Amino acid sequence: MGFEEVHKMDITGDGVDETVGVRRNEDGSVEYHVDVDGDGTADMLAVDKDGDGVIDHVLIDNDGDGKYDTAIVDVDGDGQVDGSTDQ
């Protein structure tokens, strides 16, 4: 699957641009696939499940093994993190 848009922007705040692939789904959700370490594979997936511009949850691959091991969630939709879990 390809992306509708691909952007270069500093997501991590370290002064280095990351690659962000944007996928808009038929259900109105938007996925942001972020390659943090520049290896061509997304290390972070941020999801706006209702397309309102506010990220509802983020999955992070901390060790680069291709599996997401941390989930960060905005349960009430206010744009603030309400919880996280490591797997």
Q: What is the percent of the chain where pLDDT is above 70?
A: 98
3-15 burial, b at 16+ Cβ within 10 Å, e below that, comes to: eeeeeeeebeeee
For residues 12-21, average pLDDT: 95
Q: What is the percent of the chain where pLDDT is above 90?
A: 76
Phi, psi of 34 (to 5 degrees): -115, 125
pLDDT digits (tens, 9 = 90+) for 38-71: 999 999 999 999 999 999 999 999 998 989 999 9
pLDDT for 77: 80
For residues 64-80, average pLDDT: 88
- Long-range contacts formed by 19-26: CB under 8 A, 24+ apart: 24/51
User: Could you tell me the pTM of the whole model?
Assistant: 0.87
Q: Which two tokens stand for residue 26?
A: 């038929």
Q: What mean pLDDT value characterizes the chain?
A: 91
